[in-house]
Amino acid sequence: MTARAIIIGAPRSGSGKTSVTIGLLRALARRGLKVRGAKSGPDYIDPGFHAAATGLSGVNLDSWAMSPSLLNALAAQAAEDTEYVILESAMGLFDGIPAPEGRTGSAADLTRLYGLPVLLVLDVSGQSTTAAAVAKGFATYDPDVRMAGVVLNRLGSERHRRLSGDAIEAIGLPVVGAIMRDPTLNLPERHLGLVQAGEYENLMAHLDRLADMVEKSLDIEAILALATPLEPAPGNFGDALQPPGQRIALAEDAAFTFLYPHVARHWRKAGAELVPFSPLADEGPAQDCDVCWLPGGYPELHAGKLAAAAKFRADTTRFAATKPVHGECGGFMVLGETLEDAEGQSHTMLGLLGHSTSFAKRKMNLGYREARLRAACPLGSEGTLIRGHEFHYAQMTATGNDEPLADLADGQGNPLGPSGYRRGQVSGTFFHAIARAA
């Protein structure tokens, strides 16, 4: 089976491409098609919605953080036993960082690499015929990035649809969808993006509402006809993050959710067993595991409950005495001495590292990161170069006296100084690892 694929792109974040993507995925799955969602760039939350809508795990395809070989291997894996892959762009279609050709992290890199067509979602609120100028700009900006069709979003009336749609079709782009303005279809958000799929009590009902909107407003048959075969060049998983142990105790609940699907899937494929536990339910890592992994998430929203989880704290401390424990972003915050919540109340954390963090004193930290490990840890051996991403609002309020874990640079190689900490077998960083650098 050769999967066919299409990229859902837009001029910017907030144009509605996530709702269109999720609705289309759910509509196709309801028709009995095997369909998988994919996301360009570093994003934990949207792949969760993709998986819920389709029943198949989502995947991130990141042209900056992943070597070409790993990118091709993941794209081929996504297309296995799947009829359609719907790939959602992060931010604007061409948005990435200055980097060598094909390694900018933008969704446009993927359209060029795999020859995939783009379905352009345009928020036409506050404009009409001008939407054609935007569409023409997208159509002509890069001859190697092909706009195959347009979906008009947030229309105010039938007249609005005619004015916008007729102008776009006059320049030769087919309009394959027209969505009326409906704020009830919006997905709720918080400081790191959408509220996660697992936090909805009525998730499937909302996904079905989005699918109903797509069935009503989009020409699904026309969109499927636009999709082209996804046939990546041969690749391999040599640059993937290797399992840090045979049995991995994985914190997993509303406070700890940010583990990339491709990382978990590769660990399992390599023979590792993921053993979940819930710190919020006062569970600790199973002592017969080889390593404990505290992923990112939203510990700042649950700091009081984590501080009161005595068994979690005792079991994790006992585990760390003899075996590796690693924390990323939110997990790194929990490894520290204290975490100050949004109201300014300080809560005692694990104290396995000496730093403290605050969500009351906020500053956004966002961007690609490249880290060379100063010492061996669950991310890899000393000297390993890791590519990843940083996105958090919490700030360090005390640094402690632990040894730095890595030397950090931004996505363009500009040094950012030492990053993360290590003490004994405990390590942590604010950045999320995506893959090993080629």
* Enclosing H/E stretch for 265: helix 261-269
Contact (CB, 8 A) for 218 and 242: no
Could you tell me the CA-to-CA distances from 51 to 29, 207, 234, 346 in Å, in that order?
11, 11, 25, 36
Torsions phi, psi for 211 (to 5 deg)? -65, -40
Bridge partner residues of 420 (DSSP)? none
Residue recorded with tokens 């309020």: 397
Tell me the C-alpha distance between 91 and 64, whole Å.
15
Instruction: Give the Cα-Cα-Cα angle 151, 154, 155 (nearest 5 degrees).
Output: 85
Could you tell me the CA-to-CA distances from 432 to 37, 117, 259, 371 in Å, in that order?
21, 30, 9, 10
Longest dimension (CA), the chain: 69
What residue type is 329 in one-letter code?
Answer: C
Tell me the C-alpha distance between 2 and 228, whole Å.
10
* Enclosing H/E stretch for 25: helix 17-30
Tell me the C-alpha distance between 344 and 330, whole Å.
17
Encoded tokens for 154 = 């947030």
Helical segments of 297-373, H only: 303-307, 310-320, 330-335
Could you tell me the CA-to-CA distances from 244 to 84, 178, 249, 271, 379 in Å, in that order?
33, 48, 10, 11, 7
Encoded tokens for 135 = 């569409």
| Residue of 289, 292, 329, 377 with catalytic role | 329
- Chain centroid offset of residue 405 CA: 24
3-state secondary structure of 177: strand
Let me know if 377 is a catalytic residue.
no
Contact (CB, 8 A) for 3 and 83: yes
Encoded tokens for 50 = 């993709």
Encoded tokens for 136 = 């023409």
What residue type is 99 in one-letter code?
Answer: A
Instruction: Please list the active-site residues.
Output: 329
